[in-house]
Chains A and B, each alone.
Chain A
Amino acid sequence: MPKAEIAKKTLLGVVPVDSPFYRFHPATRLMLLVFLSVTPLFVDLPEINLALIAVALFLLRWGKVQLGQIKRYLPLLFTVALFMFTVAYLAPGDRAMLTPFKLLGLTFYLEPIWWAFVSYCRLIAMLFGAILYFSTNRERDLLVALRTIRLPFAASYVLALSLRSAGMFMEDFATIREAQQARGLDLESMSIADKVKLYTMYAVPLFAVALRRADEISNALFARGYTLSARPATGGKRSDYLRKQYRLLARDWVAIAAMGLVFGAVVALRIGWGAFTDDASLLKALFRWGVGV
């Protein structure tokens, strides 16, 4: 029966069983998320953001993530693009100041369309940071990382508990849905209005279960000596066994330093020298040439 596992389920997604990422400290991996999510804020130049996306894709491959998994983000990537370009088309701003061009018989304006493209590249680059993170980190890694950067135990504990409870509610949700079907609810032949009412039928049992669970869990916490301050019985500092299982190694420091340097350089170049604006974009030139303006 046991088959060779290549992927492990987590509450938030799926991660590979074995990945070169795991050689890095969870805090380093969290830094990568921050780096990939924040750097695009300082970059307009779409080439660089596209390059960051390429880097994220490369890292996904390198990290042995099955690319099939990120398919679920595709509809979103598409609708976001559709939305942004439609907005740019319908509400371009003061038309007198803009450069019009024709395509497929419609009149577009260069600046808003181009700006939508620039923003889209930036947004997707940031999103890929999160996709990469949740595809290569388990919840436990997130906790260790947060504790390594000295988030108080109580806060990281609430986070762990809420992630765990999100998982439980997903399960409850599935059971509740079955329970409603068992009572003659035919989802397939329902109108939208009925589906809205459906929310109550899910929400009431969901909250009923949650209220009972709140009682049970708080009793369980008391039983195991947890107090609001999360300070141990002996007074003094709480030991942190989990965090001590991980050590920041030379390669972690190198990776963090590299990301820090690149980020610092980007910020300095952007603010000090006005670099990474879209003026320098070859794609923009290409685009202009393509639409003939």
Chain B
Amino acid sequence: MALIEVEDLRFQYPDGTLALDGVSLTIERGEFVALIGQNGSGKTTLSKCICGLLRPTGGRVLVDGIDVAKRGVKRELVRRIGYVFQNPDHQLFNSEVYDEIGYGPKNLGLPERERDALIREAAAVAGVHESLFHEHPFFLPKGLRQRVAIAATLAMRPQAIVVDEPTTGQDLRQSLEVMDFLSELWRRQGHTIVIVTHEMPIVAAYAQRTIALCQGRVLIDGPTREVFTHADLLAQTYVKPPQATRLAQTWTALGVRPDVLTVEELVAELERVLAERRGVGTRRAGS
């Protein structure tokens, strides 16, 4: 059974905006998925529906077989899927980091001993050092607050986590840190990861699978490498593949593969093409 099943999902906001217009997809256990698309394409709405934070106006979402819109399933749900908000300020409310991370487990009614173990583990995984346990989250720098928010989600041990714009406003090092950390969770601990983002180089470097939304529908869904070869289709939702991919695609006539994702891949590809060409070139030079 797939971990997340979305069937003909529709969502209409009270003001009449149709944010999702019949979305169907499945996400298997252990996938690393990126949700992309222009603002208003429905990505945040979809991710919130998946976590049961918004009640769909049509269709349904099953997480591990549980219908997320059903009453009284919240506690069941948070052990399966966690959502990290873009702005940690909306999420953090305890006066100590330790209590903050422990809030979820406490809601789940776990005994203290077990809770403590979960908190320490989640903090360690998220890179929140124990010396920060008694700090007030409000006064930590933004990067750290985000980690606390992630740790708080992890402490509930969800099988999947959805992260809304993990790299917005972060610099190179911070972005890599957050992404490497998510990647580590995915690789080592077998978590399913879903990120919502506008940063295509991040998508290219980390996500195994990419789903592009446009006006509340799935525009394209497939392996990231394949999705970025459809530049014309992506243009509908104003997404451009990363620069390396774009460059490669203008050189296809020269024998360059159109589906490279990173600079390193493109370098290797150009080396290959050049080596071939040089062989041909020497021959031609002789004629």
Asked if A and B touch directly (CB within 8 angstroms), the answer is: yes
Interface string of A162-203 (1 = CB under 8 A from B): 000000000010011011011111101100000000001100
Q: How far is the CB of A223 from chain B (nearest CB, A)?
A: 19
Q: How far is the CB of B141 from chain A (nearest CB, A)?
A: 13
B90, A175: Cβ atoms closer than 8 Å: yes
Best-buried of A179, A181, A183 by chain B (most CB within 10 Å): A183
A183, B89: Cβ atoms closer than 8 Å: no
- Name B65-103 residues within 8 Å CB distance of A: 71-72, 74-75, 78, 82-83, 85, 87, 89-95, 103
A208, B138: Cβ atoms closer than 8 Å: yes
Q: Which residue of B lies closest to A181 (CB)?
A: B53
Interface residues in chain A, defined as those with a beta carbon under 8 Å from any beta carbon in chain B: 3, 9, 172, 175-176, 178-179, 181-186, 188-189, 200-201, 204-205, 208-209, 212
| Listed A/B pairs (14) with beta-carbon separation below 8 Å | A3-B16, A9-B15, A181-B53, A182-B78, A182-B153, A183-B91, A183-B104, A184-B74, A186-B74, A189-B72, A200-B93, A205-B89, A205-B92, A208-B89
Q: How far is the CB of A264 from chain B (nearest CB, A)?
A: 43
B260 close to A (CB within 8 Å): no
B53 surroundings in chain A (CB, below 8 A)? 178, 181-182
Which of A176, A183, A188, A209 is close to B156, meaning CB atoms less than 8 Å apart? A183
B152 close to A (CB within 8 Å): yes
B103, A183: Cβ atoms closer than 8 Å: yes
A204 surroundings in chain B (CB, below 8 A)? 92-95
Interface residues in chain B, defined as those with a beta carbon under 8 Å from any beta carbon in chain A: 15-16, 48, 51-54, 71-72, 74-75, 78, 82-83, 85, 87, 89-95, 103-104, 107-108, 138, 152-153, 156
Known: A179-B91, A184-B156. 12 other contacts (CB 8 A): A178-B53, A179-B85, A181-B53, A182-B82, A182-B83, A183-B152, A184-B108, A185-B74, A205-B90, A205-B93, A208-B89, A209-B87
Count of CB-CB pairs between chains A and B under 8 Å: 71
Given contacts A175-B90, A176-B90, A188-B71, contact A182 B85 (CB under 8 A): yes
Best-buried of A182, A209, A212 by chain B (most CB within 10 Å): A182
B107 surroundings in chain A (CB, below 8 A)? 183-186
Q: How far is the CB of A6 from chain B (nearest CB, A)?
A: 11
Instruction: Give bound CA distance, A175 to B53, whole Å.
Output: 10
Instruction: Give bound CA distance, A182 to B103, whole Å.
Output: 11
Given contacts A183-B153, A186-B74, A205-B93, contact A175 B15 (CB under 8 A): no
Nearest first, the 7 A-B pairs at minimum CB distance are A184-B107, A204-B93, A184-B78, A186-B74, A179-B91, A182-B83, A178-B53
B74, A201: Cβ atoms closer than 8 Å: no
A212 surroundings in chain B (CB, below 8 A)? 89
Instruction: Give bound CA distance, A200 to B156, whole Å.
Output: 21
B78 surroundings in chain A (CB, below 8 A)? 182-184
Instruction: Give bound CA distance, A184 to B82, whole Å.
Output: 9
A182 surroundings in chain B (CB, below 8 A)? 51, 53, 78, 82-83, 85, 91, 153
Instruction: Give bound CA distance, A192 to B74, whole Å.
Output: 18
Given contacts A184-B107, A204-B93, contact A175 B85 (CB under 8 A): yes
Instruction: Give bound CA distance, A181 to B92, whole Å.
Output: 13
Q: Which residue of A lies closest to B138 (CB)?
A: A208
Q: How far is the CB of A216 from chain B (nearest CB, A)?
A: 12
Q: How far is the CB of B76 from chain A (nearest CB, A)?
A: 10
Which of B74, B82, B90, B152 is close to A209, meaning CB atoms less than 8 Å apart? B90
Which of A176, A178, A184, A205 is close to B104, meaning CB atoms less than 8 Å apart? A184
Instruction: Give bound CA distance, A3 to B94, whole Å.
Output: 45
Q: Which residue of B lies closest to A212 (CB)?
A: B89
A184 surroundings in chain B (CB, below 8 A)? 74-75, 78, 104, 107-108, 156
A183 surroundings in chain B (CB, below 8 A)? 78, 91, 103-104, 107, 152-153, 156
Q: Which residue of A lies closest to B162 (CB)?
A: A182
B75 surroundings in chain A (CB, below 8 A)? 184, 186
Instruction: Give bound CA distance, A184 to B102, whole Å.
Output: 12
Given contacts A200-B93, A208-B138, contact A186 B72 (CB under 8 A): yes
Instruction: Give bound CA distance, A46 to B103, whole Å.
Output: 56
B15 surroundings in chain A (CB, below 8 A)? 9
Instruction: Give bound CA distance, A212 to B91, whole Å.
Output: 15
A176 surroundings in chain B (CB, below 8 A)? 90-91
Q: Which residue of B lies closest to A209 (CB)?
A: B89
B87 surroundings in chain A (CB, below 8 A)? 175, 209
Instruction: Give bound CA distance, A204 to B93, whole Å.
Output: 5
Instruction: Give bound CA distance, A147 to B107, whole Å.
Output: 51
Instruction: Give bound CA distance, A33 to B156, whole Å.
Output: 53
A9 surroundings in chain B (CB, below 8 A)? 15
A200 surroundings in chain B (CB, below 8 A)? 93
Instruction: Give bound CA distance, A208 to B15, whole Å.
Output: 28
Instruction: Give bound CA distance, A160 to B156, whole Å.
Output: 42
